[in-house]
Structure 1
Amino acid sequence: MIDILILRNDVLLILESLLGTYTFPDRSTSPAIACLPDPEKGWNYPENGTKTSGLEVVIKRPYPDVEANIGGDRTFTNTWEIHLKQWDTNASLVDVINKLSAELPAQYFIERVSPMPASDKLLTVEQCKLFITDWALTSP
């Protein structure tokens, strides 16, 4: 089973040189990587008024999917979503996706990559989501 903080750390190590910056309302900064919900801060991370530059990575904790099987069994799976947002007009997510695909440890199975259109509302240049399958468990 994937631990959100270990996944965050693995992504941070791989993308450290490519990550943008969060600038918080108090002018402090941190790498632009967030977990939702963050175990320490809940769903309000990053807080309102935070400015983002460069590449932003948001890892969303999944809700389990339940699928009914023949015979009454159920399969429980978790699919983690890693949302990549590029705020820099001179950079591309293609290199980011390739780097994550090549360097994420083997326990993370990238199920699919879903490109999304740029957002005029958010002012992002590029966006995409990576979906990582966590586990499957069948129970009666």
Structure 2
Amino acid sequence: MIKALILRNDILAIISNQIGTYTFTDRTTAQAIACLPDPDKGWNYPENGTKVSGLEVVIKQPYPDVSANIGGDRTFTNLWEIHLKQWDTNQSLVDVIGLLSGELLADYLIERVSPIPASDKLLTVEQCKLFIKEWSVSI
């Protein structure tokens, strides 16, 4: 069973020196890495007004997903999502994705990697989602 804190620490061990900064409204700062939902912070993290610089990493703890199969049975899947955003337009996620994909494979089953290029037209930054499959059970 995957534990959020262990996954967070594994990610920090791989890319700690590349993670950006949250600057909160009270001017305090922290590394731009978060696990959601955090019972103390909920889904609205970082709080409104927070400035993000550099690479942001958000680990979304899963809710089991249910899909119907042919024959009436169902498959329950637990899928973790690691959402990467590169707020520095002079940097790229290519190296970070390569590092995480390579190093995390030793301990986790990466189901898929979904890169999303930056778009000036849509005013979006370069992003990527890594999906880690924890378990799948058919009933």
Query: SS in structure 1 opposite 2:56?
Result: strand
Aligned pairs, how many? Answer: 139
Aligned residue in 2 for 1:38: 38
Aligned Cα root-mean-square deviation (Å): 2.1
Shift of 1:37: 1.0
Aligned residue in 2 for 1:94: 94
State TM-score, norm by structure 2.
0.87
Indicate how the Cα distance of structure 1 residues 28 and 54 shifts in structure 2: closer, same or farther if over 3 A, else same: same
Distance 1:89 1:133 in 2: 30
Aligned residue in 2 for 1:137: 137
Query: SS in structure 2 opposite 1:8?
Result: helix
Shift of 1:94: 0.5
Answer with 36-45 or 116-125: which moved more: 116-125
Unpaired runs of 5+ residues, structure 2, are none
Shift of 1:40: 2.8
Unpaired runs of 5+ residues, structure 1, are none
Aligned residue in 2 for 1:84: 84
Distance 1:121 1:33 in 2: 27
Indicate how the Cα distance of structure 1 residues 9 and 92 shifts in structure 2: closer, same or farther if over 3 A, else same: same
Shift of 1:74: 3.0
For residues 1-140 of structure 1, the aligned pairs below 5 Å read 1-69=1-69, 72-104=72-104, 106-120=106-120, 124-139=124-139
Shift of 1:112: 1.0
Distance 1:123 1:22 in 2: 20
Query: SS in structure 2 opposite 1:77?
Result: strand
State TM-score, norm by structure 1.
0.87
User: CA-to-partner distance for each residue in 1:34-84, whole Å, 9 max, x for gaps?
Assistant: 112123321222111110000001111222112334565432111111111
Shift of 1:130: 0.9
